[in-house]
Structure 1
Amino acid sequence: MEAVHVPHPALRPYVASWVGFRAALDPRAVHHGLPSPTLTVVLALDEPLDVGWLDRGERERYWTCVAGLHTGPALVRTHGWQHGIQLALTPLGARALLGAPAAALAATMTEHAELPVGLPQCLLENLAAQRDWRRRHLLLERHLLSVLARRHDDPAHDVRPEVARAWWLIASSGGRARVADVAEQVGWGRRRLLEQFRAEVGVGPKEAGRIVRFDRSRRLLDAGIPLAEVADRAGYADQAHLSREYARLAGRSPSRLRESAYHLPG
């Protein structure tokens, strides 16, 4: 079951989605955490999150975790039960709500205790003690609004407008925008755009486009669109190109992901 929350208007530039989740699963089930244009914040309420990167092997357990932008899948061992709150933060939201640029969190998983602005342990305990999703969401929302208010006048809160616009151009184009065109529209040369964008977001503009394109294709896939049409509408050369990207970014084929975001080992 899922409990979707629409965040306060002041948080919407920073929080792309917000959902409470509770699911009973096969204890062997492994969830694929896929690349997306947002940073993933998970607050575990019953049991810590057992998660690691597919290509690195190591695993850690987290009660509070943020994963930055990445170009490979994370694997979450569910142990038969998932219960918590998940937020998807825009790259702008990293500075505003976590106190660090998205680049500092790219391709990593970080516990909130290690962040400049993280979720206090007492708040996590208070969230877990609630038995109503609405109360949990409003309690967390009040905390995030207070963080935003405290950081509003802090220059470190701001992302350079050129980088913010470059991100918007890439995201709104579905990942199809050419880097040279983006640089021209924000008034920078290609090299400066690459340096400034990577320093803030953690990936270059070309990699960002790749992630946005993959995310769009995944949504089309979830909507039941045929694979050849998914490839065309998401901007891939052909279905074979789509499949190669899924092997690299998701660690699974498009058809397998369409069946389920989980897999059973063996």
Structure 2
Amino acid sequence: MSVDEYAQARPSAALLPYVGFYSGYRQRGLAPATHRGLPSPYLTLVFTMDDPLDVAAHPDPRQAPGRYDALLGGLHLSPALLTHPGRQSGVQVALRPLGCRALFGLPAAELAGIDVDAAAVVGASAVAEIRDRLCSASSWPDRFAVVDDVLRRQLRSIRVAPEMLHASRRLLRNEAPVAVVAAEVGWSPRYLTDRFRAEIGLRPKEAARVARFDRARRAIGPGTRLADVAAAHGFADQSHLVREFRALAGCTPTRWMADEFGFVQATARLMAEDREHDRLTTTAGLADAAGR
């Protein structure tokens, strides 16, 4: 019997400033497939439940393919390629860039463009506990609660400059150009670029580019006109959107939709809700955490 499950949930209130959402997946009895791990405004943290995660190609081509019981990937500008033999299962955590310090004590920049064994950052005991409890849990809400419980215990006091909080929110939502955001926080564009890259791992323009691409790709569905998506998300025209897909996804929008639409359907609504949550609460939540 084939199994093809996707589930999503938000973290607890304590983790909302640092984690966007959780995604659970379980597939069995399907055809072997390759999944593209696309550039995103979130870091990717994956805890597998059964088989290890097979990464056939990392965003950095200098990294050799590998198998991971748990993986943490930084922000990147090219896709990863993940393969499975017809079965895979686990929980994926969408980690906000400024949450990397709060949970793991290091800037997201240290992980930019690479994938690492999560045990090296999260801790071997924490990874082992999560995976053991995930396999024992009987439902997706219970599995998400497991991850939430362990990550809450990882939280530490942090101090993030309010200028960086403001710049991150504005730039990752494509709300203003770099020069405008720099003026808002009282920094020069060059200084903002240097500080942003040292903390996040991408330059401000690169981060804004990834965020725009991420929103556009999640707006694509059956019957959607690419020209309309391009116009709604700040691309010059449809050709510009297609070029960005080739550059960041390694394929055309049509090819991506054919390969990935089931997963996109499962996650698009939660992503839209998360963007609204960012608008309303992220800055306030991180500001509170910075002052703890």
**TM exceeds 0.5?**
yes
- Displacement over 6 Å in runs of 4+: none
CA contact (8 A) 1:99 1:117 kept: no
Amino acid at match of 1:60: G
In structure 2, the residue matched to 1:35 is 39
Pairing 1:81–2:87 present:
yes
Distance 1:54 1:108 in 2: 7
Specify the code of the residue in structure 1 equivalent to 2:99: G
Cα pair distance change 1:86/1:127, threshold 3 Å = same
SS at match of 1:158: coil
Partner residue of 1:15 out of 19, 43, 47: 19
Are positions 1:72 and 2:78 aligned together? yes
Q: How does 1:240-251 map to 2 (within 5 A)?
A: 240-251=239-250
CA offsets 1:225-249 (integer angstroms, 9 cap, x no match):
3101111111111111111111110
SS of 2:91's equivalent in the other structure is strand
Query: How far apart, CA to CA, are the structure 1 residues paired with 2:119 and 2:23?
Result: 22
Partner of 1:21, secondary structure, is strand
Which shows bigger deviation, 37-46 or 109-118?
109-118
The CA distance in 1 between the partners of 2:61 and 2:226, in whole Å, is 30
Partners of 1:23 and 1:62 lie apart in 2 by 17
Residues 99-122 of structure 1 deviation map (CA, whole Å, 9 limit, x = unaligned): 221101111101122116563323
Of residues 109, 116, 138, the one that matches 1:131 is 138
Among all aligned residue pairs of Structure 1 and Structure 2, give the percentage whose two residues are the same amino acid: 42
* Distance across 2 between alignment mates of 1:142 and 1:223: 38
Deviation at 1:140, TM superposition (A): 1.9
Question: Quick check: 1:162 aligned with 2:167?
Answer: no
Task: Measure the CA separation in 2 of the matches of 1:252 and 1:89.
Answer: 25
Q: 2:47, 2:130 within 8 Å by CA — same for their partners in 1? A: no
Instruction: Assess if the C-alpha contact under 8 Å between 2:46 and 2:72 holds in 1.
Output: yes
- The amino acid across from 1:105 in the alignment is L
Contact 1:177 1:209 in 2 (8 A): no
Unaligned runs of 5+ residues in structure 2 are 262-292
Residue in structure 2 matched with residue 93 of structure 1 by the alignment:
99
Residues 95 and 101, structure 1, Cα contact 8 Å, conserved in 2: yes
Post-superposition offset of 1:147:
1.4
Contact 1:46–1:84 under 8 Å retained in 2: yes
Show CA shifts across 1:19-75 (max 9, x none): 211123644310011111000111011000001326627311011101110000000
Where 1:32 maps in the other structure, the secondary structure is strand
Give secondary structure in 2 for the equivalent of 1:94.
helix
Instruction: Quote the Cα distance in structure 2 between the aligned partners of 1:33 and 1:18.
Output: 16
Asked if the contact 1:23/1:83 (under 8 Å) is kept, the reply is yes
Secondary structure class of the residue paired with 2:22? strand
Q: Which amino acid aligns with 1:124?
A: R
CA RMSD in angstroms, aligned pairs only:
1.9
Helix, strand or coil: the match of 1:66? Answer: strand
What is the rounded CA distance, in whole Å, between the counterparts of 2:223 and 2:151 in structure 1?
36
Secondary structure in 1 matching 2:197:
helix
Aligned residues: 254
Q: Distance in 2 between matches of 1:18 and 1:27?
A: 25
Partners of 1:45 and 1:62 lie apart in 2 by 11
- What one-letter code is carried by the residue in structure 2 that aligns with 1:65? L
TM-score (norm 1): 0.89
**Partners of 1:217 and 1:99 in 2: CA distance:** 32
Show CA shifts across 1:196-221 (max 9, x none). 00000000000011101101111111
- TM-score w.r.t. the length of structure 2 is 0.82
Deviations 1:179-203 (A, max 9, x none): 1001011110011101100000000
1:223 positional shift: 7.1
Amino acid at match of 2:114: T
Following the alignment from structure 1 to structure 2, what is the Cα–Cα distance between the partners of residues 64 and 31? 17
Q: Which amino acid aligns with 1:114?
A: A
1:134 deviation in Å? 2.4
